[in-house]
Structures are given as C-alpha cells and as structure tokens.
C-alpha cells in the first residue's frame, strides 16, 4: 500500500504518520510539506514499521505526479490554518489553500488515487439547530476567510468528482483536541491549556462562553482517516467528523479538573461574534465508526505535557 500525506509535518499530519505505521504496517508513506512552519521535529522518531520518504515541496508549485504515481490514497492536509489571522491574510489563505486543493485533486485524477480532503466544521459557522451534511445551503455561513476557502475547496472537489471521476471523500473535522509531535496552539482548546498551564488567565471570547461547538479528539481524527482508507470511500460524500459538541464553559471545567486555580478573562473578538452551532456526526457513526466518549483524556494529556511550564517559562 502507498499513502501520500500533504502537510504531513503539521499538527494532524505528525500524529497521523504514527497512526498509519500502526494501521498499515509495511506501507510506503510519502510525506510532503513545504516546511514554512518549520516543524522538523515531526520527523523525529518515526516508527520502523512503515517505509517513509519525506520531500520538502510546495504542492502549489511542484509537479506532484511522480509522488502520487501508484498511490492508493492521498490525504490532503496542506493548508494555511490559522483561522483568526486569516482576516489579515485573506488573499494568501485563499490562494494557497484553493490552489493546493485544485492541484492535489488534478494529480489524484491522473494517478487514480483516492483523495481525502480535510475540510472543517467551521463551514457551518452559524446555526440555531443541529446541522448535518445535507443541510440547506443557507445553513452554510463560514465566518472567516479560512472557512470560506474551505467551502470553496469542497465545491471544487465535488465538481471534479462529477466531471472528472475524481475518487474523493470530504471530511469536515471539528477543532482538534490532543497532542502531537508537530502540535500548534492557534486553536481554542490548545491555547486554553497553554494559558492555564502557565498560570495565565484563559482568554475567552465573551460571546462564545456558552456556545456549543464541535471538537474532535485527535486520536478519533487519525483513526477516522485510517477507517476511510480501509473503506476506500470515494463517492464524493461529505462527513462531519467530531467527538462532541461542547461549550467553552464545559471545556474550561475539564481544564479545571487538572488545574483547579484557573482564571477566566472575557474579551471581545469579531470572529466569534456569532451564534452557537452544533454539528451531527450521525452519517459517519452510521458507517460503523465509534467516537471516544469525551475530551477529558486529550485535555489531560495536553496539560500533562505542559505541567512543569510554570516553573521554567518566564512571563
């Protein structure tokens, strides 16, 4: 088996490359990344049960055919991912992410590989009811240039499935919770854990405290991707992949179990000035996938990594 992962050294990719060595022993795993985020540490201590090759390339400019040739699956993770900063970098985010997805999809058509596109539940944006994949188009209200681009990437892939026989599946991931060798701290829960571990107040957007949002245990995320490879799902269907819908209040209460003296500071920020939204994972669960039953373990694991931070990080 041959699997290609774009954006392989990022937060999700760096956990996935370990999971694939476990789930697909002996597989050839090709890791592509432009290393703009410099996460070389993601390549340390890789398991010996898979045959890895790493190539530093930009998927927007390099010829992908030689890497995709013979691949069963391409997991496309490469993207600029900082949603909050995407307001300032809107053009860059759109150009990089849309171009990357377009070129990866075309190369998958040529190599006849299954393409797994990583999208995000942030394409829903605002909703007063629980939303599912077959919601009305008016229920898709992305709230940032990052999320708008994700929706465009989905549309592009769906069009290529219909017009060019692309074998693809689209995963709308909830916000990842959990640790990885190439972990990043832009996203809500990781940022809260970092602040709590350092003894800093947790900064919470005022309007978001009691809002439910979808979160995804990183172990569920990597297992879900192996599951889709095993199923060879490729009919262009969209799946919401999330472990739970939780409020920020619920997340901070889990953090409090590990660090009892946390403080919360409320701030205003335009990206979160929106309604709550809950997302259904029923379509994916109905395929036979079981999600973990909470985020406590992953939050505990994150705090455990940082547990001594207060003693050596100078603020």
Ligand X SMILES: NC(=O)c1ccc[n+]([C@@H]2O[C@H](COP(=O)([O-])OP(=O)(O)OC[C@H]3O[C@@H](n4cnc5c(N)ncnc54)[C@H](O)[C@@H]3O)[C@@H](O)[C@H]2O)c1
The residue ranges that bind ligand X (CB under 6 A) are 6-7, 9-13, 33-37, 39, 58-60, 77-81, 96, 100, 118, 120, 173, 175-176, 184, 187
Nearer of residues 2 and 298 to ligand X, judged by Cβ = 298
Q: How far apart are CA 158 and CA 168, in angstroms?
A: 8
Q: Which residues pair with 178 in a beta bridge?
A: none
Three-class SS of residue 33?
strand
CB of 65 to ligand X, least distance (A): 16
Nearer of residues 170 and 202 to ligand X, judged by Cβ = 170
Tokens of 147: 């999320």
CB of 56 to ligand X, least distance (A): 9
CB of 227 to ligand X, least distance (A): 16
From 176, 149, 169, 43, select the one nearest 105 (Cα to Cα): 169
Nearer of residues 191 and 310 to ligand X, judged by Cβ = 191
Q: How far apart are CA 178 and CA 254, in angstroms?
A: 13
Residue 175 has φ and ψ, to the nearest 5°, of -65, 130
Q: How far apart are CA 18 and CA 313, in angstroms?
A: 29
CB of 267 to ligand X, least distance (A): 21
Q: How far apart are CA 264 and CA 104, in angstroms?
A: 42
Q: What 8-state DSSP symbol labels residue 42? A: G
Three-class SS of residue 133?
coil
Q: How far is CA 226 from CA 18, 154, 258, in A?
A: 11, 20, 31
CB of 115 to ligand X, least distance (A): 13
CB of 261 to ligand X, least distance (A): 27
Nearer of residues 15 and 259 to ligand X, judged by Cβ = 15
Nearer of residues 1 and 35 to ligand X, judged by Cβ = 35
Three-class SS of residue 172?
strand
Q: How far apart are CA 15 and CA 284, in angstroms?
A: 21
Nearer of residues 23 and 153 to ligand X, judged by Cβ = 153
Q: How far apart are CA 19 and CA 295, in angstroms?
A: 19
CB of 314 to ligand X, least distance (A): 26
Residues with Cβ within 8 Å of residue 296, at least 6 apart in sequence: 254, 257
Geometric angle at alpha carbon 207, from 204 and 210, rounded to 5°: 80
Nearer of residues 34 and 179 to ligand X, judged by Cβ = 34
Nearer of residues 226 and 310 to ligand X, judged by Cβ = 226
CB of 271 to ligand X, least distance (A): 14
| Helix axes of 188-197 and 296-305: crossing angle, nearest 10 degrees | 50
């Amino acid at each position: 088996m041959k699997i290609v992962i774009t954006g392989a050294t990022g937060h999700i990719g760096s956990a996935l490359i370990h999971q694939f060595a476990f789930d697909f022993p002996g597989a050839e795993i090709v890791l592509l990344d432009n290393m703009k985020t410099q996460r070389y540490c993601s390549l340390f201590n890789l398991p010996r049960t898979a045959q890895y090759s790493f190539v530093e390339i930009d998927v927007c400019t390099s010829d992908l055919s030689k890497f995709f040739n013979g691949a069963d699956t391409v997991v496309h993770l490469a993207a600029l991912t900082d949603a909050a900063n995407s307001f300032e970098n809107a053009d860059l985010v759109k150009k990089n992410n849309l171009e990357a997805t377009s070129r990866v999809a075309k190369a998958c058509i040529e190599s006849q590989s299954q393409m797994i596109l990583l999208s995000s539940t942030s394409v829903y944006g605002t909703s007063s009811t629980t939303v599912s994949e077959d919601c009305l188009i008016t229920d898709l209200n992305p709230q940032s240039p990052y999320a708008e681009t994700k929706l465009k990437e989905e549309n592009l892939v769906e069009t290529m499935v219909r017009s060019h026989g692309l074998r693809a599946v689209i995963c709308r991931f909830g916000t990842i919770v959990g640790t990885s060798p190439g972990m990043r701290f832009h996203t809500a829960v990781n940022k809260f854990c970092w602040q709590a571990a350092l003894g800093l107040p947790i900064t919470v957007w005022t309007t978001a405290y009691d809002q439910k949002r979808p979160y995804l245990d990183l172990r569920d995320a990597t297992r879900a991707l192996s599951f889709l490879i095993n199923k060879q799902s490729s009919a262009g269907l969209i799946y919401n992949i999330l472990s739970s819908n939780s409020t920020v209040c619920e997340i901070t209460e889990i953090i409090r179990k590990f660090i009892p003296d946390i403080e919360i500071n409320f701030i205003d920020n335009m990206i979160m000035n929106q309604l709550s939204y809950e997302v259904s994972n029923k379509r994916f669960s109905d395929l036979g996938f079981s999600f973990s039953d909470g985020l406590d373990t992953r939050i505990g694991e994150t705090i455990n990594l940082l547990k001594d931070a207060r003693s050596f990080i100078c603020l």
